[in-house]
Amino acid sequence: MKKILLSGVKPTGTAHIGNYFGAMKQMVDLQNSGNYQCFLFLADYHALNLIQNRDEMKKLTLELALDYLAIGLDPKKSILFKQSDISAHTELAWIFDTIVTVPYLERAHAFKDAEAKNKEINVGTFNYPVLMAADILLYDTDVVPVGQDQKQHIEYARDIALKFNHTFGPKNVEEYKDLIFKLPDSLILDTVAVVPGTDGRKMSKSYNNIIPLFATREEITKAVMSIVTDAGIGAIGTDGKVSDGKPINLYNIHKLFKAKDKLDQLYEMNKGKYKSLKDDLIEDIDAFVKPMRERREKLAKDPKKVIKILEKGAKQAKKIADKKLLEVKKAVGVL
């Protein structure tokens, strides 16, 4: 039996190299390893917390599907679908709502961040981890490849699985751990757990510090030129080591695209020459992105094909999700 691998991404805007190295690439690499049954879904119901415009939602969802197909997600090997096509996700989230407490959800980082910004927080944002737990647990997922920012959410999914199994699993069984829901593990690669943005903070659409994944040469140039280049003597890099005077932020982005020995040589030879280093990074990103950009342009000409892929994926996912939901409904006693 192959292990089950599942991940989700919100269609909330332009995919960036943080998404790519942090999560998207792992998905394709693991798909190609042949060791997993892979599921990837477009988390449109999660995105609805932010994208509340019909046309935009449709456009961003299709674009995200294109992004994944362009980087090599193969619908013959992986099940690609839209979250909203599988009603079991929201139905299971409701069932979980009845066993999850308010103080527990108040401890979620994403909720605390939203609260700190003093926003009027909608219930969907508050409930976000519960829907995410349903996404993961419906498919008996073993592994969830994500970036560091999602780690807590996977822990929530594990906690919710345990609580459900404990509450509704057969009482005469000592080991209730994997009875109804399997406990998933996150898969976070240390080297790309937090990909920095052009200002050194985590790359994020909301910080306006992204390098778009499918950027044109001009867009790459613009983004790279905006990378902050403080020399950072004594500064701590994302690898936790003290910098030796390198423009640490530029270096940390550059190391995603160049082997370490070549990179170190380049930075040694170009000490203080930020323009040359940036020109080199522009070349590297452009060379890296170009084939994917071209593949995406081709795919974008046939949106009907993409919609068909999503429909087929939904059919496959629905079979599995509905079966699990049936088991859950029996366990709670509504069936």
The answer to whether residue 132 forms part of the interface with ligand TYM (CB under 6 A) is yes
* Tokens (6 digits) for 67: 């992004």
Beta strand 36-42 with 78-82 is parallel
8-state DSSP, 124 = H
The answer to whether residue 7 forms part of the interface with ligand TYM (CB under 6 A) is yes
The nearer residue to ligand TYM, 180 or 195, going by C-beta atoms, is 195
Q: By CB under 6 A, name the one of 75, 147, 200, 313 that touches ligand TYM.
A: 147
Which residues in 197-226 contact ligand TYM (CB under 6 A)?
A: 202-204
109 to 47, 49, 56, 124, 296: CA distances (angstroms): 17, 16, 27, 15, 34
Q: How far is the CB of 231 from ligand TYM (least distance, A)?
A: 23
The answer to whether residue 149 forms part of the interface with ligand TYM (CB under 6 A) is yes
> Contact 289/215 with Cβ under 8 angstroms?
yes
Q: How far is the CB of 246 from ligand TYM (least distance, A)?
A: 20
The answer to whether residue 150 forms part of the interface with ligand TYM (CB under 6 A) is yes
Question: Applying CB under 6 A, which part among 4-12, 30-38, 244-252, 297-305 lies near ligand TYM?
Answer: 4-12
> Contact 98/43 with Cβ under 8 angstroms?
no
The answer to whether residue 82 forms part of the interface with ligand TYM (CB under 6 A) is no
The answer to whether residue 43 forms part of the interface with ligand TYM (CB under 6 A) is yes
Q: By CB under 6 A, name the one of 5, 9, 215, 306 that touches ligand TYM.
A: 9
Which residues in 151-190 contact ligand TYM (CB under 6 A)?
A: 153
The nearer residue to ligand TYM, 10 or 258, going by C-beta atoms, is 10
Q: By CB under 6 A, name the one of 28, 30, 46, 67 that touches ligand TYM.
A: 46
Q: By CB under 6 A, name the one of 4, 8, 40, 249 that touches ligand TYM.
A: 8
Number of H helices, E strands in the chain: 15, 5
Question: Applying CB under 6 A, which part among 96-104, 191-199, 304-312, 316-324 lies near ligand TYM?
Answer: 191-199
> Contact 73/40 with Cβ under 8 angstroms?
yes
How many residues bind ligand TYM (CB under 6 A)? The answer is: 25
Write 108-116 long-range contacts (CB < 8 A, 24+): 108/152, 108/153, 108/156, 109/149, 109/152, 110/153
Instruction: Count the alpha carbons within 13 Å of 68 in the hemisphere toward its beta carbon.
Output: 32
Rounded distance between C-alpha atoms, residue 269 and residue 256, angstroms: 19
**Starting at the edge strand that comes first in sequence, how are the strands of the sheet with 143-145 ordered?**
78-82, 36-42, 3-9, 143-145, 185-187
Chain residues that interact with ligand TYM, rule: CB under 6 A = 7-10, 18-19, 22-23, 43, 46, 132, 135-136, 144, 146-147, 149-150, 153, 192, 194-195, 202-204
